């Protein structure tokens, strides 16, 4: 840090008179007789500083008593810190009375915001003072520390209130953005243009959501529907998965990939056929497939939600972005206005028009809430699903090195929803979910497998 140790220690009579006047003006030594003030000045070190200098190191702030006579200091942890941890004004004392305490590592130092001066009393200086001056200093150090603690509590309360107000404003802004547009004639007309999921896929999805459905029933449904089986085999043998072994029938797929993975591929292909053919929509679908596969793995580590269900929610989660992009492409002159349309609301309403289960529609509607709202703002019946989807999206953004990942303001709260707050996000991702993805690397979509492999390099 620039500016440390630039001191002017002249103590001629004029300087002493000037500093005594500053001390009196600032009230730095309350109830102390002038002869005792002079005795302190003669024994202590007088430090003068200019604006922009760093006159006191972290070690000094931890071990010495510093009494500011004039000027203004800001306590900061580094030159890059934008806001001060605390502002020190004339008359303020810095010191807790324990001169023997070792310096705190990584503690803050003092930046001079305006030119001024301060009296510095070291442990050695203190030990040579008369008893009544030592008693005086200890008394006022304790009082000063109590005053500063009280002010810090007030600052903390003010900060908490400001944070609450800011979060409320953010919540209002996000929930009101484009609210109700999904009910507009232009939106309804667009919903009619988006191809619905095939009836067989909707029946399969409803079966999967039914707790009474067995795995064999799911297999039988796929086996009896030629289009589902055909789409499955076409997908698993495509470069999208890059399997070394060609899969020739449903039983082979079940044996190699497993029930959940087969269902996941069938649904992802059904969704893909509902999207327009373009690079932008292909990228949206690919991202949804990757997030969905992560969500499936994460759900398998939790056993709180049916894995295939959360995978389906994640698979459909990006479809609102497709609707917004379609709005822009059909109304290019108004494309800037559609930036304010909520893709979550649009996606949820589209699923309503497809007569999909309410649990899916509701999950899509609240999917972005973790970015700006605590869990209690999310309906309880979909809260766990929303938490898993949010954490899966966060993991995907981390693996793909997304420049601006989803905000993590409430990350601990959503980890608590799935009972993983003590574990933490990093351990959940890198010690629980990623190892599971590694074990299934040959069965993952190729794009996701590449992300997992890149993390291992």
Co-location of 73 and 189 in the same domain: no
Is 241 contained in some domain?
Answer: no
CATH classification of the domain holding 62: 2.60.120.10
> Residue 26 has what pLDDT?
78
Structure tokens at 151: 């002010």
> Residue 206 has what pLDDT?
80
Is 212 contained in some domain?
Answer: no
Co-location of 297 and 151 in the same domain: no
Is 110 contained in some domain?
Answer: yes
Report the alpha-carbon distance of residue 409 to residue 103 in Å, rounded.
33
Structure tokens at 6: 């630039």
> Residue 1 has what pLDDT?
34
Co-location of 135 and 279 in the same domain: no
Co-location of 187 and 91 in the same domain: no
Is 49 contained in some domain?
Answer: yes
Q: State the pairing for strand pair 45-49/109-121.
A: antiparallel
Co-location of 189 and 68 in the same domain: no
> Residue 148 has what pLDDT?
78
Is 119 contained in some domain?
Answer: yes
Report the alpha-carbon distance of residue 291 to residue 391 in Å, rounded.
10
> Residue 451 has what pLDDT?
93
Domain tally, the chain: 2
Is 164 contained in some domain?
Answer: no
> Residue 224 has what pLDDT?
80
Range of the domain at 22: 13-157
Is 173 contained in some domain?
Answer: no
Co-location of 148 and 185 in the same domain: no
Whole-structure pTM value: 0.68
Co-location of 126 and 191 in the same domain: no
Report the alpha-carbon distance of residue 49 to residue 9 in Å, rounded.
11
Co-location of 65 and 186 in the same domain: no
pLDDT in tens, the chain (457 residues): 333 333 344 445 556 667 777 777 778 888 888 889 888 888 999 999 999 999 998 888 888 899 999 999 998 876 666 666 788 899 999 886 666 665 555 567 889 999 999 999 998 999 999 999 999 998 888 888 888 788 778 877 877 787 777 777 777 777 777 678 888 888 888 888 887 877 778 887 887 777 777 777 877 878 787 777 887 888 888 887 777 778 888 888 877 777 777 887 888 888 877 777 778 888 888 899 999 999 999 998 887 888 888 988 998 999 888 888 888 887 777 767 777 788 999 999 989 988 888 989 999 999 999 999 999 999 999 999 999 999 999 999 999 998 888 888 999 999 999 999 999 999 999 999 999 999 989 888 889 999 999 987 6
Secondary structure of the chain as H, E, C letters: CCCCCCCCCCCCHHHHHHHHHHHHHHCCCCCCCHHHHHHHHHHCEEEEECCCCCCECHHHHHHCEEEEEEEEEEEECCCCCCCCCEEECCCCEECCCCCCCCCCCCCCEEEEEEEEEEEEECHHHHHCCCHHHHHHHHHHHHHHHHHHHHHHHHHHHHHHHHHHHHHHHHHHHHHHCCCCHHHCHHHHHHHHHCCCCCHHHHHHHHHHHCCCCCHHHHHHHHHHCHHHHHHHHHHHCCCCCCCCCCCCCHHHHHHHHCHHHHHHHHHHHHHHHCCCCCHHHHHHHHHHHHHHHHHHHHHHHHCCCCHHHHHHHHHHCCHHHHHHHHHHHHCHHHCCHHHHCCHHHHHHHHHHHCCCCHHHHHHHHCCCHHHCCCHHHCCHHHHHHHHHHHHHHHHHHHHCCCCCCCCCCCHHHHHHHCCCCCCCHHHHHHHHHHHHHHHCHHHCCHHHHHHHHHHHC
Co-location of 186 and 145 in the same domain: no
> Residue 380 has what pLDDT?
95
> Residue 78 has what pLDDT?
65
Is 424 contained in some domain?
Answer: yes
> Residue 448 has what pLDDT?
92
Tell me how far CA of residue 283 lies from CA of 151, 265, 277, 401, in angstroms. Answer: 53, 17, 11, 16
Co-location of 138 and 186 in the same domain: no
Co-location of 110 and 153 in the same domain: yes
Co-location of 367 and 427 in the same domain: yes
């Amino acid at each position: 840090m620039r500016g440390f140790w630039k001191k002017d220690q002249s103590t001629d009579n004029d300087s002493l008179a000037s500093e005594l006047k500053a001390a009196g003006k600032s009230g730095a030594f309350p109830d102390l007789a002038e002869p005792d003030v002079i005795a302190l000045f003669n024994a202590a070190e007088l430090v003068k500083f200019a604006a922009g200098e760093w006159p006191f190191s972290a070690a000094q702030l931890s071990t010495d008593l510093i009494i500011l006579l004039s000027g203004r200091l800001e306590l900061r942890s580094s030159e890059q810190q934008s806001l001060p941890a605390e502002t020190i004004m004339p008359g303020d004392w810095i010191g807790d009375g324990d001169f023997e305490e070792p310096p705190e590592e990584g503690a803050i130092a003092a930046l001079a915001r305006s030119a001024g001066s301060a009296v510095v009393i070291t442990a050695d200086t203190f030990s040579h003072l008369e008893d009544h001056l030592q008693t005086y200093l200890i008394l006022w150090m304790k009082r000063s520390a109590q005053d500063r603690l009280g002010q810090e509590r007030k600052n903390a309360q003010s900060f908490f209130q400001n944070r609450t107000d800011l979060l409320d404003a953010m919540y209002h802004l996000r929930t009101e953005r484009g609210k109700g547009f999904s009910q507009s004639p232009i939106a309804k007309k667009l919903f009619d243009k988006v191809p619905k999921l095939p009836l067989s896929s909707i029946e399969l999805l409803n079966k999967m959501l039914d707790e009474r459905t067995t795995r064999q029933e799911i297999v039988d449904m796929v086996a009896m529907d030629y289009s589902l089986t055909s789409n499955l085999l076409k997908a698993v043998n495509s470069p999208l998965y890059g399997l070394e072994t060609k899969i020739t029938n449903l039983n082979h797929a079940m044996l190699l990939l497993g029930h959940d993975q087969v269902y996941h591929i069938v649904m992802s292909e059904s969704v893909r056929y509902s999207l327009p053919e373009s690079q932008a929509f292909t990228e949206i679908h690919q991202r949804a497939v990757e997030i969905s596969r992560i969500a499936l793995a994460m759900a398998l580590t939790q056993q709180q939600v049916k894995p295939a269900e959360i995978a389906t929610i994640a698979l459909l989660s990006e479809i609102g972005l497709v609707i917004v992009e379609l709005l822009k492409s059909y109304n290019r002159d108004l494309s800037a206005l559609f930036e304010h349309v909520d893709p979550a609301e649009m996606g949820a309403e589209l699923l309503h028009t497809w007569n999909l289960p309410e649990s899916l529609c509701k999950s899509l509607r609240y999917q972005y809430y973790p970015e700006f709202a605590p869990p209690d703002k999310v309906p309880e019946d979909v809260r766990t699903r929303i938490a898993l989807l949010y954490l899966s999206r966060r993991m995907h953004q981390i693996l793909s090195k997304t420049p601006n990942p989803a905000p993590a303001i409430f990350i601990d709260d959503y980890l608590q929803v799935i009972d993983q707050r003590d574990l933490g996000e990093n351990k959940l991702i890198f010690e629980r979910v990623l190892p599971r993805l590694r074990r299934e690397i040959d069965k993952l979509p190729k794009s996701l497998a590449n992300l997992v492999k890149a993390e291992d390099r």
